[in-house]
Structure 1
Amino acid sequence: MARSRDTHDKGPRQRQLRVGELIRRTLSEVLARGDIHDPELQYMSITVGEVTMSNDLKIATAWVLPLGGEGREAAIAGLTRNKGELRRAINRDLTLKFAPDLRFRIDETFDRMDDTRRMFADETVQRDIAARDDDADGEEE
């Protein structure tokens, strides 16, 4: 009797995470070495923060950001323009049955981290944190 799958996803499976990380490393290495013959990409330093995989491992979404955050649209356009060459590089370096289709998106986690740091540095938030800490200290005694 076949096991039924739970229809509610509980997050990525181990294989999705493993394949995504392998693809992330490969893309990072290919871009760092300058293996892609596109003049626009040659002069860009692009960080590949994460690669998420579809459930069937046929689509890989690479979350990228150019160094300094400048030229985001140009980076996405260059990567998209060269996705066939990048896909061949992944297929050459990894032993996957099928090379996944590549999609590129801007990684905004760095922006969110900066926003969070700014929020915690705000004096009103600092005052609230200090007041909460004082309340917690008073309860322990």
Structure 2
Amino acid sequence: MGKNRHHEGSGPSQRQLRVGELIRRTLSDVLMRGDVHDPELNRMSITVGEVRTSPDLKIATVYVMPLGGAGRAEAIDALKRNRGELRRQLMRDMTLKYAPDLRFLIDETFDQMDETRRLFSDETVRRDVEARHAEDETGEGGA
């Protein structure tokens, strides 16, 4: 099998997942501490939800969300503007041979979670879910 066992569509390798999570935690710390010399960026509270790396670890796609979801475009602009300094911080804090190229995107999973919460708080949906759960427990109800 060798090196090419991960064909397209098979998902990230353990190494990609490990490095992605390390980058996520490191960037979160850097942003939380305000280590970047940009007052606008330091005023923002940005959550780093996930980091996905390319198979060769040269590109890291960073999924972020500003606190409360407002100011998304401004947050992405500030992160892009400080990309070089953020890469230097990664190199300083992590033991990588080279810092990956950082790409920043809004983390849409926060919106999906909000929509799911909204759906489950809807009375009709909640009644349907509870009725289905009761059927599953009693073994009654058609498929």
Q: Same fold (TM over 0.5)?
A: yes
Match status 1:119 vs 2:136: no
Change in Cα spacing, 1:8 to 1:62, as seen in structure 2 (3 Å) is: closer
- 1:90-129 correspondence to structure 2 within 5 Å: 90-129=90-129
Runs of 4+ in 1 over 4 A off after TM superposition: 1-4
Deviations 1:70-111 (A, max 9, x none): 111000000001100000110111111111000000112121
Equivalent AA in structure 2 for residue 45 of structure 1: S
TM-score normalised by length of structure 2: 0.89
TM-score normalised by length of structure 1: 0.90
- Aligned partners of 2:6 and 2:13 also within 8 Å: no
Change in Cα spacing, 1:3 to 1:77, as seen in structure 2 (3 Å) is: closer
Match status 1:24 vs 2:55: no
Percent of aligned pairs sharing the same letter: 66
Equivalent AA in structure 1 for residue 67 of structure 2: L
State the alpha-carbon separation in 2 of the partners of residues 130 and 70 from structure 1. Answer: 34
- Aligned partners of 2:28 and 2:47 also within 8 Å: yes
Measured after TM superposition, the shift of residue 5 of structure 1 is 2.5
Equivalent AA in structure 2 for residue 23 of structure 1: I
Measured after TM superposition, the shift of residue 6 of structure 1 is 4.9
Change in Cα spacing, 1:122 to 1:21, as seen in structure 2 (3 Å) is: same
Measured after TM superposition, the shift of residue 3 of structure 1 is 6.4
Change in Cα spacing, 1:127 to 1:94, as seen in structure 2 (3 Å) is: same
Secondary structure of 1:12's partner?
coil
Q: Which runs of 5+ in 2 are unaligned?
A: none
